[in-house]
Amino acid sequence: MPVPSAPALDSTLVSLARDSLGARIDPIGARLDSLIYSRDDGDPVELLYRREPEPDLPTDAPGSNGQWHRRYAGGWHTLVPHSGDERTVDGVAQPFHGEAAWKTWRVAAASTAPGSAARVHASVTLDTVPIRLERVFELFGTTLRITQRATNLGERPQPISWAEHPAFAPPLVGPGLGITLGESVLPLHVPAPPETHGAFAAYPCGAIGRAVLDNPVSGLRVTLEWDAELFPYAFIWQEHRASQGSPWHGIADILAVEPSVRPYDPEDERLGPLVIAPGDTIATTFTLTLA
């Protein structure tokens, strides 16, 4: 796949659209800021949770954990080379949910031939580990495809963690939503009861990397697919208008499905179980399809 020339390094959102889907990518973290589905029988629907923090947020939140939640804008992040609480590994501080989500990537729309998918290419080289990341967004009909590559630029094997963090919102999220992970229907109540309003759980996804979110009430059905051998776990996070503290204040309605290479809590002192040999590249694809 060709890499577009002379991508710009700035904070301008980059848009792409094709058929019934429209998307917008934020150079900060190469975050998918918006994914809009235009139904034939209704108004366009925003599928992702979106929040617009104030640009002059105070910086008194404790550490990167606090800063992340204070500045959380929703959407779909990639979490590399670490996910979860901030920690120090080999003397290097790793911020909450990994350096890649905090850095400004080079992002540019690539030229496409007639009849091909719309495409946006993003790239960044990390500082905490010698890893170069590339993230390519493409649209095909009612499918979003994200292809991501991680290349070890160093001279030693590099362990990393890796998780994807798509956060969905109403009308997909809400009463009537059912979730199937792999071949199993998850025992989730949506919205979650008050005592579990901040519910978070990690599930092994089995042989099939697939989550189906089906809401017959809203008429929306979304299928998220990934490589289950590379990402054998999926985290499910729910936040349904019950948490009154910052930053939710009882107004956030979110459900995230997060493929991950490891359980949420690290199992050893390494950054993660995924080890990239010097000069090697790991490439994988995530698709999100509307039905």
Q: 241 with 220: CB under 8 angstroms?
A: no
Single-letter amino acid code for the residue at 10: D
- What does the H/E/C string look like for the chain? CCCCCCCECCCCCEEEEECCEEEEEECECCEEEEEEEECCCCCEEECECECCCCCCCCCCCCHHHHHHHHHCCECEEEECCCCCCCEEECCEEECCCCHHHCCECEEEECCCCCCCCEEEEEEEECCCCCEEEEEEEEEECCEEEEEEEEEECCCCCEEECCEEEEEECCCCCCCCCEEEECCEECCCCCCCCHHHCCCEEEEECCCCCEEEEEECCCCEEEEEECCCCCCCEEEEEEEECCCCCCCCCCCCEEEEEEEECCCCCCCCCCCCCEEECCCCEEEEEEEEEEC
pLDDT of 59:
56
Q: 255 with 218: CB under 8 angstroms?
A: no
Q: Is the pLDDT of residue 193 over 80?
A: no
32-46, 133-147, 193-207, 240-254: least confidently modelled range: 193-207
CA dist., res. 133 & res. 31, Å (int):
13
Q: Is the pLDDT of residue 222 over 90?
A: yes
Q: Which domains are delineated in the chain? A: 14-290 (2.70.98.10)
Tokens of 92: 């290097």
CA dist., res. 90 & res. 138, Å (int):
36
Range picked from 192-196, 226-230, 237-241 for highest mean pLDDT: 226-230
Tokens of 97: 């949910």
The string of pLDDT tens digits covering residues 262-278 is: 988 887 888 999 999 99
At 136, is the pLDDT very low, low, confident or very high (cuts 50, 70, 90)? very high
